[in-house]
Structure 1
Amino acid sequence: MPIRPTAAIAALFLGFQALAADAPPKTPAAVVAQAPASAWQAIAPDALLVMTVESGRRIVIQLAPRFAPAHVANIRALAKAGWWDGKSVYRVQDNYVAQWGDPTEKLPLPAGIAADIKADYAQPLAALGQSVVPLPYPDAYAPRTGFADGWPVAMDEASIWLPHCYGMVGVARNLSPDAGTGAELYAVIGQAPRQLDRNIALIGRVIEGMGLLASLPRGSGEMGFYASGEKPLPIMSARLASDLPEAERPYYQVMDVGSQSFADYLRLRANRKDDFYDRPAGGVDLCNAPVPVRARP
């Protein structure tokens, strides 16, 4: 016959449930899932570039105007002019980048686009006006690293810049002193090519559709360009979310890097010990601790 728990046992069981509910999360994913609303910040609609590709699939890029103001200004103007409509993703190099725009580089740019743009590769550290959450582990490419304004950052004593992590979006360019206009963009789809830091302008990161870009067929031409007979991915449109009808806008939030939730997340990325991990790493690479981003609930 079934055994009925006594009131004391039932109370003890409920107590264990309460303790489990109050237990700290054991994994980075659990931290993100349990983060309160106060740990999230809205991403402004004019900082979201919404790119619709073949079959109605969507790629959303969060722009970083504080780190690459001149290039982001161009990108916003290009989006408003519909310049990427009818262009394509024409280069996919394995373990490196997926690139889109005009492969001929001969089509005229819209009026008002700055063609001779300065190198937006780093910004004065003092001008950022944001406290930096430090990452206290050695980095092979910068004296210091951390997080600021919702972004991973690398720094020296005077400057701050974005790193070439997986999913970051940069401005394709020709040889220096050319710094590109922003008409030709790429997303990092492989191991972080940090050697490009401060050599190319980074303007943001892919926050939706990264799986699509990373899984595209690799181009067989030199440097991953699609050869004759290989089909580039058509771009139907690219617009700022702020220019879309409200019902069509994506809404995203980024975790506040100054929040307790982010501190817990970062601690577990570096020192994870749970049902799967037996040995904590004791450290984490800047590119292996992406700042969490989520669609607005």
Structure 2
Amino acid sequence: MRAWVLAAVCLAACATTTPPAATGQAGAETPTVPSLGDILQASPAADWRPLDPQNTIYMDLPQGRVIIELSPQYTPNHAANITALARAHYYDGAWIVRSQDNYVVQWGRDENEPAGYGEGHATIGAEFSRSRRGVSITRLVDPDSYAPVVGFAGGFPVAAEGDETWIAHCYGVVGAGRGDTADSGGGAELYVVIGQAPRHLDRNVTTVGRVIQGMEILSTMPRGTGPLGFYEQPSQRTPITRVRVEADIPESERAHLEVLRTDSATFRAVIDSRRTRRESWFLEPTGHINVCNVPLPVRVHSAG
């Protein structure tokens, strides 16, 4: 048995069924169009990969658990710092401090609260982008407003220009909050995109990973009433119960998630199915897609 957790939601009228075969004038059947569900169901096991437990973070809130995959390929220093902070229990007792409509939800510790960093650091150098050398990008053919190249690498939406590549600010992407200087962040404060992709933040903030499970918890946080969506009263904040690295959690308590490889044939079929919607509901298929509109499928893997 496999339970599916898809990283995108579609209208029920346009999503998961394959239309019946039609008969043309010559009596021949028109080929049916595979749905997204059909594509994923037919995918070989090799097209999926498990999350790396050393770079997967579990954040427990009163409303449930949020699971974040970090990207050491793009931001190795931030991935190491965030896992070090988690192992020092730095985030335990921190707060959701900001929820700005159509923008981001942010969390961190109060500046006046004592905190132990363990082997982590309050701030580290920025990792706004990295060299393209050694990075294989599954490219989109469609133009992008912010970069000459967009696509996917290692399970993340990415952009590139020249020898430079970075994780794009798409829905569900997690970034490291900072002050006015580039080296004033590091993961002690984090945020997640909950609205339309704020791509103007690309290469201005270090994007460290993406939410794999639990976006429905973060995206429905009560909106803050202060400037930029900050909560004006401590009572408005949501407490963070604990944050742990998956590798440090007993096997029986892990979510056992796996994600579709973005360098796989199945993922290329997913892009094609979303780029030109062929379901009968669509009267005008667009034939184009934005890097932030391609779903990144996730599923729970169980033996059997």
Same fold, TM exceeding 0.5?
yes
Structure 1 gap segments, 5+ residues each: 1-15, 17-22
Deviation sequence 1:35-60 (CA, Å, 0-9, x none): 221211111111210011115x1000
**8 Å CA contact retained: 2:142, 2:288:** yes
Secondary structure (helix, strand or coil) at the match of 2:57 reads strand
| Residue range with higher mean Cα deviation, 31-40 or 91-100 | 31-40
Find out whether 1:232 has 2:237 as its counterpart. Answer: yes
Secondary structure (helix, strand or coil) at the match of 1:75 reads helix
Match of 2:58 in 1: 50
Find out whether 1:27 has 2:32 as its counterpart. Answer: no
| Residue range with higher mean Cα deviation, 92-101 or 248-257 | 248-257
CA 116–172 in structure 1, closer or farther in 2 if over 3 Å, else same: closer
**8 Å CA contact retained: 2:123, 2:187:** no
| Residue range with higher mean Cα deviation, 80-89 or 105-114 | 105-114
Find out whether 1:159 has 2:164 as its counterpart. Answer: yes
Return the match for 2:120 from 113, 130, 138: 113
CA 117–292 in structure 1, closer or farther in 2 if over 3 Å, else same: same
How far apart are 1:138 and its partner, in Å? Answer: 0.5
Counting only pairs closer than 5 Å after superposition, residues 97-246 of structure 1 correspond to structure 2 as 97-104=104-111, 107-126=114-133, 129-228=134-233, 230-246=235-251
CA distance in 2 between counterparts of 1:241 and 1:178 reads 28
CA 83–116 in structure 1, closer or farther in 2 if over 3 Å, else same: closer
Amino acid of the structure 1 residue aligned with 2:60: T
Match of 1:41 in 2: 49
Deviation sequence 1:217-238 (CA, Å, 0-9, x none): 1010111111126421111110
Deviation sequence 1:85-132 (CA, Å, 0-9, x none): 111111101111111111327644414323452210101001xx2422
* Paired-residue identity, %: 40
Amino acid of the structure 2 residue aligned with 1:245: P
CA 186–286 in structure 1, closer or farther in 2 if over 3 Å, else same: same
Deviation sequence 1:69-88 (CA, Å, 0-9, x none): 11111101001111111111
Find out whether 1:259 has 2:264 as its counterpart. Answer: yes
| Residue range with higher mean Cα deviation, 114-123 or 185-194 | 114-123
**8 Å CA contact retained: 1:45, 1:251:** no
**8 Å CA contact retained: 2:78, 2:187:** yes
CA 199–229 in structure 1, closer or farther in 2 if over 3 Å, else same: closer
How far apart are 1:275 and its partner, in Å? Answer: 2.2
CA distance in 1 between counterparts of 2:234 and 2:109 reads 18
Amino acid of the structure 2 residue aligned with 1:140: S
Return the match for 1:288 from 276, 286, 293: 293
How far apart are 1:279 and its partner, in Å? Answer: 1.8
Greater C-alpha Rg: 1
CA 38–90 in structure 1, closer or farther in 2 if over 3 Å, else same: same
CA 45–116 in structure 1, closer or farther in 2 if over 3 Å, else same: closer
Length-normalised TM-score, structure 2? 0.85
Structure 2 gap segments, 5+ residues each: 1-20, 22-30
Secondary structure (helix, strand or coil) at the match of 2:239 reads strand
Length-normalised TM-score, structure 1? 0.87
